[in-house]
Amino acid sequence: MPRHSNSAPSAANDDTVLDAKPIRTLSPMFPAPSGCTTISSSSAPPLVYVTPYTTFSSGSMPGHPAHFTPGMFPAFANSPTVVPHLATSQSDRASPVTPVPMSVSNGAAHVELNSNGPLHATPLSASFQAPPTMATPLNVVGNSFTSASGRKIKQPLHLSGYSIADSDKEDSDSKRSLRKKPKKTPIRDIVLLPPPQDPREAVEMILMTFDAIRRRVLQMDETKDTGKRPDLRASGLMMSSDMRANKGKRIGPVPGIEIGDIFYFRMELCLVGLHAPSMGGIDYMITTHDNQDDPVAVSVVSAGGYENDDDDVDVLVYSGQGGNSKDDQKLERGNLALERSLHRANHIRVIRGAKDLNVVNGRIYVYDGLYKVHESWVEKGKSGFKVFKYKFIREPGQPDGISVWKMTQKWIENPSSRGRVILPDISSGAENVPVCLVNDVDNEKGPSHFQYTTKVKYLRPISSAKTLQGCTCLSVCLPDDKNCSCADHNGGKLPYSSSGFLICRKRIIYECNACCQCTLNCRNRVTQKGVRLHFEIFRTKDRGWGLRSWDPIRAGTFLCEYTGEVIDEINTNDHGEEDDYIFQTSHVDDKTLKWNYGPELLGEPSTETASEVFKSFPITISAKNMGNISRFMNHSCSPNVFWQPVQHDHCDEGYPHIMFFAIKHIPPMTELTYDYGTSGLVFGRSKKCLCESPKCRGYFG
DNA sequence: GCTCGATCATGATT
DNA sequence: CAATCATGATCGAG
């Protein structure tokens, strides 16, 4: 039961209108009886929400300094042309084919209505008020707003290498010179990628780019004392380039974000429009109601920083902000917004923090869907000061969120608690971690027989003119060691972060080998140590068996190797059936290419062009008769896994190890898929694709 | 040598 | 603007 179907909209996304039935009084906060709430009839207005996919009124979209053209970015040279879908309504623009900046194309303009008339959504610090006409959507993303907000812009890292000839006239010098505030980073120096039409694609691209920059900054900064916080460096660069999705606050679901999505940094939540404050736990917006400002909460992050109990997955008791155990909390800011949300009964997004021991800081954020505040009260905290408490209850009918995470955590602690198990370890102890075989779907008893192997079986002894060479690093290879020949071999830098995440896709990664002086603890030995995650082979609805993980997986994490028999040619069996377990390096998809993006945004020239990096290798592997968990990984045109050639025990560069890594953060229990690619003109070998991706090519293999 | 908490300094956003 | 359920580094305990 994968929760993330590529095509099926979640129940929450259909939720365009807030239900008006919960009626509550404006129960006074002071004094409040501890632990109880007053419910009585009320005239509290229902809050109706219109999805942000309303059309833009002509001219409401401000001029945007960032232009891109298809093909400007190398890897998009053969991508479909970006459709300038606002061109018709933007006929007064200088250029009729100005593509839409990402943050605007995702539809940040929205309006809220209630039975009493329009309820205008106004950003907190917006200095303008839109005319209160019902028909006009209020655009909260205007450039004038963002520029006038006066936020401190950090100069980005050196940006060069690309230029955009087309400079905007709207943001003229005269306009700019009037402003005293620090001006926004000139975006024209950065090439923005075309915003994908699909909101999910847009969100994924933002997160992927963020993490690519973050990893690269981390790698660069390791040798210096300066420059901490790669997450902030990456997000600052992206924010100043307006590379973000779903800008502008909104109530309810965020396009492209699905329940269960996981995040590793608060800034990721900000970049995709899920939760704006970089530290604050409560995000709220000012609405107007009866000509009065009325704050309502839109999202909260429950990261366990306050004294909360978290036993029930559908209930969240959230503490108000402020006080800091040194003072009474006050009914202001977020606390006031939550109180107002109680009465307005609007949906609030909840992002739950959870412990993940695979991560250094041990924290992960899970989007858990929409909740409503059902009660509030005041109690004395441990320090004796007043603390606001808000009881959130999860709206029914939504896909499982944090409950999936809690379930898999239990299984990891005690694998026997996993039900519907056919085989507790399909590898029979060959892998470091047992691999469950399960079937939640039908009565199939398991895949047909094969020999489980963690090693590749070569046709003949691997021959190479060169012999293995090793580094002379003692103990472990260090990032600043100029004498490390292995770092040298990888282009001067160690290819993995200190915690073992791949930093950038390369044609081949060279890990330390048997000839190296360093120990097995060396960070340049990742894939050679084998499987680290809790995988399970599971029965899919309609695609046979598949692979997924109990652990949440961070982008860049090594998953497993494609093992099997190296073969010369693809054989059919006695019955003329094709070998369904072939791996070839024939095709690399867009998303894998994009994985390397980011360093370009840092001003680094692309060192290797796509054609060099992704030139195919002669190796063909069949996992039909023998193999490992990789043989169960299905194809998808929107994959979450890619392959990366790695060398660590021989030098024959035509026959590298094929290692799989996570493209993006992958929630537990999400099916792992990679792009099988197309073997070109081999008719008859193509199979109908069932991946349900909006970008599905329709066939593969 | 580790892991785990507590504490601290430095933060970006609205 | 100042407040904020971040981060990562550092230090000490176990």
Q: What is the pLDDT of residues A505-516, one digit of tens each?
A: 999 999 999 999
pLDDT value of residue A440: 96
Nucleotide nearest to A279 (CA to C1'): C4
Intrachain domains A14-405 and A414-700 with the same fold: no
Higher model confidence: residue A450 or residue A694? Answer: A450
Higher model confidence: residue A72 or residue A409? Answer: A409
What mean pLDDT is predicted for residues A183-196?
A: 45
Q: Please, which pLDDT band fits residue A13 given cuts at 50, 70 and 90?
A: very low
User: Is nucleic acid strand C under 7 Å from A306's C-beta?
Assistant: yes
What mean pLDDT is predicted for residues A538-551?
A: 96
Q: Please, which pLDDT band fits residue A422 given cuts at 50, 70 and 90?
A: very high
The CA-CA-CA angle for residues A184, A594, A533, to 5°, reads: 115
- Name all protein residues with C-beta less than 7 A from any atom of nucleic acid chain B: A 123-125, 149, 151-154, 228-229, 232, 235-236, 239, 267, 270, 276-280, 357, 362, 521
Residues in chain A: 701
Higher model confidence: residue A586 or residue A181? Answer: A586
Residue recorded with tokens 């300038």:
A84
Q: Residues of A from 272 to 291 whose C-beta is within 7 A of strand C: which are they?
A: 277-282
What mean pLDDT is predicted for residues A684-700?
A: 79
Q: Which of A32-46, A337-351, A405-419 has the lowest mean pLDDT?
A: A32-46
pLDDT value of residue A641: 96
In this predicted model, what pLDDT tens digit does every residue of A276-304 receive, in sequence order?
A: 999 999 999 999 888 888 999 999 999 87
Residue A13 CB-half CA count within 13 A: 14
Distance A548 CA to B12 C1' (A): 36
Instruction: Identify which of A642, A635, A636, A637 has the alpha carbon closest to the alpha carbon of residue A661.
Output: A642
Q: What is the CA radius of gyration of chain A?
A: 27
Superfamily of domain A14-405, CATH level 4: SRA-YDG (2.30.280.10)
Q: Which of A110-124, A310-324, A438-452, A667-681 has the lowest mean pLDDT?
A: A110-124
| Closest residue to B9 (CA, C1′) | A228
pLDDT value of residue A32: 32
pLDDT at A177 over 50: no
- Work out the burial of residue A462: count CB atoms within 10 Å of its CB; fewer than 13 is exposed, 13-18 middle, 19 or more buried: middle
pLDDT value of residue A575: 65
Higher model confidence: residue A194 or residue A13? Answer: A194
pLDDT at A547 over 50: yes
Cα A90 to Cα A93: distance, rounded to the nearest angstrom: 5
pLDDT value of residue A488: 93
Q: Which residues contact A357 (CB under 8 A, 6 or more apart)?
A: none
Q: Please, which pLDDT band fits residue A679 given cuts at 50, 70 and 90?
A: low
| Closest residue to C8 (CA, C1′) | A229
Q: Residue ranges of the domains in chain A? A: 14-405, 414-700
Nucleotide nearest to A351 (CA to C1'): C5
Distance A150 CA to B5 C1' (A): 38
What mean pLDDT is predicted for residues A619-645?
A: 95
Helix, strand, coil share of chain A (percent; to 5): 15, 20, 65
Q: Is A438 helix (H, G, I), strand (E, B) or coil?
A: strand
Question: What CATH class does A414-700 carry?
Answer: mainly beta
Q: Please, which pLDDT band fits residue A52 given cuts at 50, 70 and 90?
A: very low
What is the rounded end-to-end Cα distance, in angstroms, of chain A?
A: 25
Distance A645 CA to C4 C1' (A): 44
User: Is nucleic acid strand C under 7 Å from A123's C-beta?
Assistant: no
Q: Residues of A from 186 to 245 whose C-beta is within 7 A of strand C: which are they?
A: 228-231
Distance A100 CA to C1 C1' (A): 33
Distance A126 CA to C5 C1' (A): 26
User: Is nucleic acid strand C under 7 Å from A265's C-beta?
Assistant: yes
Structure tokens of A500?
Answer: 């073992």
pLDDT value of residue A698: 82
pLDDT at A68 over 70: no
Structure tokens of A242?
Answer: 């307006």
Nucleotide nearest to A323 (CA to C1'): C3
Q: Which positions in strand C are less than 7 Å from the protein's CB atoms?
A: 1, 3-9
Cα A566 to Cα A388: distance, rounded to the nearest angstrom: 64
Distance A388 CA to C4 C1' (A): 16
Instruction: Identify which of A308, A282, A306 has the alpha carbon closest to the alpha carbon of residue A296.
Output: A282
Give yes or no for a contact between A132 and A118, defined as CB atoms under 8 angstroms apart. Answer: yes
Higher model confidence: residue A158 or residue A398? Answer: A398
Q: Residues of A from 137 to 156 whose C-beta is within 7 A of strand C: which are they?
A: 149-151
pLDDT at A56 over 50: no
Residue A37 CB-half CA count within 13 A: 17
- Report percent pLDDT > 90 for chain A: 48
pLDDT value of residue A573: 62
Distance A279 CA to C6 C1' (A): 6
User: Is nucleic acid strand C under 7 Å from A594's C-beta?
Assistant: no
User: Is nucleic acid strand C under 7 Å from A99's C-beta?
Assistant: no
pLDDT value of residue A685: 54
Nucleotide nearest to A232 (CA to C1'): B12
Nucleotide nearest to A269 (CA to C1'): B13
What does the mean pLDDT of chain A come to? 73
User: Is nucleic acid strand C under 7 Å from A609's C-beta?
Assistant: no
Distance A360 CA to C8 C1' (A): 10
Give yes or no for a contact between A663 and A201, defined as CB atoms under 8 angstroms apart. Answer: no
What mean pLDDT is predicted for residues A473-499?
A: 90
In this predicted model, what pLDDT tens digit does every residue of A77-133 receive, in sequence order?
A: 233 322 222 222 222 323 323 333 333 333 333 333 232 323 333 332 222 222 222
